[in-house]
Each structure stands twice: as C-alpha cells, then as structure tokens.
Structure 1
Amino acid sequence: MGKCDKELIIKLLCEFLASFFVQFIGCTLTEETVLGISLPTTGSFPYAMSWGGSVLAATQAFRIVSGAHINPCISIASMILENVGILDGMLYILMQLIGSALGFGLSFGIFYDSKFKNKKFCCTAITLDPWWKAILLEFYMTGAWVFAMCASWHESNEMMLESISLRIGLVVVAATYVGANFTRSCMSPFRSLWPAIAAGEYKHIYVYVAVPPLTAILLAVAWRFLYLQGKSETVKPEGGGD
C-alpha cells in the first residue's frame, strides 16, 4: 500500500471519528433523558453549546489531519473549491454517514428510555408557521458554516491556523442558537436522518436532507466564481503569497 493510500485511510478514519463524536455528544447532551429538562425549559443556548461545542472540539482534534469536515455539506464545498478530489470527497461523505449513524446509535442505545416523554430521540422538527420558512432558516444556518469554512481555507488565514477551530465552533454555536427553537438547527443531513429513521418520523425530512447540500453547492460555487473569480482555494497569487 502506497504512502498516499495510508494518508487517505488516516484522513477517512479522522472523518469517521469526528462525525461519530459530534453526533454522539450532540444527541446525548441535548436529550431530556440526560439533562432531565426539555429544550423549551433549558433554552436554546445550552442546545447550541452542545452541538457547536462538539463541532469545536472535533475541529480542534482532527482539522490538522483531515480538515475536520464533519458535515457532508463542507465536503461538497471542498470538492467544488478543489481542496479535495471528487473521489476523496465522496469517501469523506461515506465516513461521515457511517460515523454519524454509529454515534447516534450508541447515544440511542445508552440513553433512550421509553418511560421518558420524549419518544423521538434527537429528532429535528419544524415549529415555524408556515413551515417553508424553515427552508430559509436552514439555508442561512448552513450557509454560515459553509462560508466560515471557505474563509478558513483561504490563503489569508494561513498565519491564523491556531484560532480556526475556535472560530468555526463559534459560528456553529451562533447558527445553532438562531434555529434551535424553530428547526432544532440541522445544517447537516446526517444529523437529522438517523434520528428520523429510528423514530419513523419523516415529516419535513426533505427540508433537512435536501436544503443543506443545495446550500453548500450554491454558496461554494458563488465563493469560487464570484469571490475567487474561478480559481480554486489552493491556487496562490502568482509569485506566492506573503
């Protein structure tokens, strides 16, 4: 096995672990089976800190190896910006799919108890009226994460790598806080997919599964062809950057 293959395997393992960690911690810390208090009582800030804090920790741990995409939307944006190849990006997404499934499964297996009122463990739900406003909200929240990652990949951030995990984490905290009481802040299709399957609850699932990836495609294309004027993020100015 060549050196490049070993490096790819390590990166894929990191994406698996990062996705597993975020889904497990996020579902575990935000369910009333653990907190003992439901989301409307605790408020949206603890919810935002649970998911955003887990993203911050995973980014800090795995960014230097795999880039800590965690979210398939980030991998889609990275492929469009040519930071990762198409095949590598698809493998990243596969690892995120598996990691998030096992992370949810472990949290569900340990903490779910039917005696609690919450029968839909870790599920996302739309409370906005009319429901289509959730599309705009998920677009905004996912876009914040995607744009934050696009900015972190830009060469202007090469000298500020130490703070990137903190900045990405805080963006996710803020975005999650905005939507916590309206959509429970998905931003990643896998975050909502597995809880929906476990609960058999598919109402508005298309919003959670379709809107974040479409957002990533639209905003990554806009970033590359409007802001970078067609260049990939890996392309430096002629003569190199300072």
Structure 2
Amino acid sequence: MVEISLLRRSIAELIGTYVLVFLGTGSVVTAVLLIEGAELLPGNTFSIGLDIAAWFAIGMAFAIAIVAMIYAFGHISGTHINPAVSIALWATGRFPTKDMVGYIVAQLIGASLASFSIVAILGSRAVATGLGATAMFAGVSYGQAILCETIATFFLMLTIMGTAVDNRAPAGFAGLAVGLVVAADVTVVGNITGSSLNPARTFGPYLADFLLGGENFWWQFPIYIIGPIAGALIAAFVYDYVSGVKELE
C-alpha cells in the first residue's frame, strides 16, 4: 500500500473542512435570509427566528457534508476536519505531532476559505447574517457555553472512536454514525451555543466577519477551543478505558 504524503492528506483535510463549513454555515446563512421581516440583533445575528425545524435542517446540512467527506477522504486523511479530533488522536498516541500541526493548519485554512466563498457568492447580506458564526445565546453564561460544547463534542468523539478508530467496529458505517450524531447535537444545542463542536468551524466565520466589517465574536472564541478540545480528549480516553482497545494493540 502506497503511503500518502502529509501534504496530500492535509489538502484532503482542507477540502473536507471547506465543504463542511460551506454547506453547514451556508445553511445557517440561507435560513436567516429566508426569514422575512426578521430584525437582526447585534451580537446574536445569525440565530434570529430559527425554530427547531430550522435547526434540524441545519443539523442535516452539517451531517450530509460530514458523511460525504468521510466517504470521500476517510481512506486518505481519516477525515478529521476538526482540530479537536486531531488533538484527541494525538493525545492518545494515534497521530504524530507533525501531522497534527499540518492537519490543524489545513483545517483552519479550509474553514476560512469557505466563509469567504459564501461572502463572494452572496455579498454583504451574508455578512449581515453573521456568516453562521457560533455564539452564546441569551441567558447562557460563558461557563455554561463551555460545558455545553464539551458535552456535545464528547458525543461526537465517542462516536468517532467507536465507529472509525476501533478496528473491531463494523466497516462502512462510520460516516453515517458520525454525521447523525452531529445532526442531533446541532438540533439539540444549536440554540444554546450554535453547536460548534469544532474550533475550525467557528474560526472561519469569525475571521471573515472580523475582516469584512461584521460582528466581532473573538471574545467568545475560547468557548469553542476549550469546550470541543476538552470533550474530545475526555471521550478518547474514556473510550480507550471502557473498550480496552489499547490493551489489544
């Protein structure tokens, strides 16, 4: 079997993250633009008027993107498309440091290009929606937001460990399982934190918003670093302990 270079795997991660953010956050932008007469409120622009049906549709957009990219690039890069996943696999000894850094850089670039692409297509009206940027909702504290992202990402990483990392799992179902748990996460906690689960997914819209005159959400970025990484790390170590998979290696 020919070894695929880090450069090629990183490009796969860039493309995969681009697709995830373009389709996922693009669905948020579209949902907001479809709301007639909705008044955009500063600091909470991307969520005004979204009900449970809209959040389900957004969750499915993210899910479909993830399923497609796992089946497209899973055999090439593993389709992490999420710095929290790359860090968790590195922390459990499954991923080299050099590869982790390369993947994370590629993921951040892919997410950023996706957000700028949405603006290139829709113009300033897309920026006015917040570009699908994740943010705390009314009545949610900083600590609650971190806890929410930690728990939701725990579900995601646990699913990844059980279906994609553990070679005892039935082959061919990882994409579907991972996509569905993301759809559930977005539907349930979308109206709490925006359901990022992924520092790169948050980074892209934040950067584009900041550079193009939209809302400045950077003060909330630690939520979407600490929560997803903590959730992914906890899930990875818990799965290794419960499954005993490390003992078999």
TM range (shorter): 0.7 to 0.9
Residue of structure 2 equivalent to 1:68: 79
- CA deviation profile, 1:195-228 (whole Å, cap 9, x unmatched): 223232234222112221122223323333x235
1:44 equivalent in structure 2: 55
Unaligned residue ranges in structure 2 (runs of 5+): 36-47
Q: How does 1:211-222 map to 2 (within 5 A)?
A: 211-222=227-238
Q: How many residues align?
A: 227
Write out aligned runs for 1:66-215 (5 A).
66-114=77-125, 118-131=128-141, 132-152=143-163, 153-157=165-169, 160-197=170-207, 198=209, 199=214, 200-215=216-231
Q: Distance in 2 between matches of 1:100 and 1:215?
A: 21
What is the letter of the counterpart of residue 36 of structure 1?
A: L
Residue 84 of structure 1 aligns to a residue whose secondary structure is coil
Cα distance between partner residues in 1 of 2:236 and 2:129 = 37
Is residue 11–residue 65 contact of structure 1 (8 Å, CA) maintained in 2?
Answer: yes
Residue matched to 1:17: 15
Q: Shift in Å at residue 229 of structure 1?
A: 5.5
Distance 1:52 1:104 in 2: 18
Give 1:17 deviation, angstroms.
Answer: 0.8
| Residues 119 and 169 of structure 1: CA distance in aligned 2, closer, same or farther (over 3 Å) | closer
Q: Distance in 2 between matches of 1:9 and 1:117?
A: 32
CA contact 2:198–2:224 (8 Å) conserved in 1: yes
Q: Give the match's secondary structure for 1:27.
A: helix
Q: Is the 8 A contact 1:79 1:86 kept in 2?
A: yes
Match of 1:66, SS state, is coil
Residue 129 of structure 1: SS of its match in structure 2? coil
* Unpaired runs of at least 5, structure 1: 237-242
The answer as to 2:73 corresponding to 1:57 is no
Q: Sequence identity, in percent?
A: 24
Alpha-carbon separation, structure 1, partners of 2:8 and 2:58: 31
Deviation at 1:231, TM superposition (A): 2.5
**1:127–1:183 CA contact under 8 A, matched in 2:** yes
**Offset of 1:180 from its aligned partner?**
1.3
Shift of 1:154: 0.8
The residue that corresponds to 2:42 in the other structure is none
Contact 2:67 2:176 in 1 (8 A): yes
- Please report the TM-score for the alignment, with normalisation by the length of structure 1: 0.83
Instruction: State whether residues 26 and 118 of structure 2, in contact with CA within 8 Å, keep that contact through their aligned partners in structure 1.
Output: yes
Does the CA contact (< 8 Å) of 1:34 and 1:111 recur in 2? Answer: no
Residue 221 of structure 1 aligns to which amino acid in structure 2?
F
1:227 maps to which residue? 242
What RMSD, in angstroms, separates the aligned Cα atoms of the two structures?
A: 2.4
